[in-house]
Amino acid sequence: MSVADERAAMVERLRAGGVTDPRVLAAMGEVPRERFVPGEASDQAYRDSPLDIGAGQTISAPAIVALGVAALGAGPEAHVLEIGTGSGYGAAVLARCCGSVVTVERHPELADRARDALLALGYDNVEVRTGDGTAGAPDRAPFDAVLVTAMADERPPQPLLDQLAPHGTLVCPVGRHGHGDLVRYRGGRAEELLPVAFVPLVGESGADQPS
């Protein structure tokens, strides 16, 4: 099966699994996921499972990426903040769906690799930053949407909520010990979407982010 066929099959699995947003499905069908995984894992790029990318981090399974982006409900002109760049794949999907993306990664080697991959593929509407994601990007706020790709301990960091535009949406995994729920915050309400497993959200101190 060719890479294009594998990507198309992945999109059909996402559709069958409940992802209905046509822009998200189109983005997942356009972004070459194999360019964001280590070379030795390129033949596994379209499996619906996370893959190791180094520094103790993973690229999330395609279904989790699609569901997270779809849950934001962000429009084509939206200004979006992503916390946890990882491989850069999620930022690429966001870049296909939204107007501009700021993405923050605490591991410099991952941030550099993601930046190179995104630039090589022409995603010039993505700004990759290295730093403490729990602080967000206040100089680029407000954001129409915020997507967190690591698990917060009981609630998202307050700075991320503070950087949301009025009527904005934040999607974040919340739980303990790597297991919890993907939760959507908007209009002052929290909505649990589905059970998930993620690496912990770590702040500047290097410790798991407290609630």
Residue positions annotated with a catalytic role: 60
Read off the amino acid at residue 88: G
If you write DSSP's letter for every residue of 73-108 in order, what string do you get?
T--TT-EEEEE--TTSHHHHHHHHHSSEEEEEES-H
Beta strands in the chain (DSSP E): 51-54, 57-59, 79-83, 100-105, 126-130, 143-148, 152-153, 164-176, 179-186, 189-197
Q: Using CB atoms within 10 A of its CB, is residue 134 exposed (0-12), middle (13-18) or buried (19+)?
A: buried
3-state helix, strand, coil split of the chain in percent (to 5) is 35, 30, 35
> Per residue in 27-49, is it b (16+ CB within 10 Å) or e — as a string?
bbeebebbbbbeeeeeeebbeee
